[in-house]
């Protein structure tokens, strides 16, 4: 069903709201972080989705590792 697909997609991307909760930053700062990470991905030739960042890339850049889960 489309709910499963959309749920899987949400797990693959972090949103500004999630960064506000996880990192304790303002929503403006969360969007700034996402924008910076997306700009890095675009520079490497990837396609970006405004307001979202691939979870694995965020974890790698922010925490220094990829999650295995």
Candidates 64, 50, 43, 57; CA nearest to 12 is 57
Strand ranges for 1-69 from DSSP E: 13-15, 52-54
pLDDT at residue 1, rounded to an integer: 45
pTM: 0.79
The SS3 of residue 68 is coil
CA gap 9, 14 in Å, rounded: 10
Tell me how far apart the alpha carbons of residues 63 and 44 are, in angstroms, rounded to a whole number.
20
> Tell me, what's the pLDDT at 16?
96
Q: 3-61, pLDDT tens digit by residue? A: 556 667 678 999 999 999 999 999 999 999 999 999 999 999 999 999 999 999 999 99
**Residue 38 near residue 57 (C-beta atoms within 8 A):** no
């Amino acid at each position: 069903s489309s709910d499963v697909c959309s749920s899987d997609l949400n797990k693959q991307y972090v949103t500004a709201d999630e960064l506000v909760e996880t990192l304790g930053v303002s929503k403006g700062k969360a969007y700034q972080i996402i924008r910076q990470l997306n700009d890095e991905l675009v520079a490497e030739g990837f396609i970006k989705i405004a307001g979202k960042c691939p979870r694995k890339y965020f974890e790698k850049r922010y925490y220094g590792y990829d999650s295995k889960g």
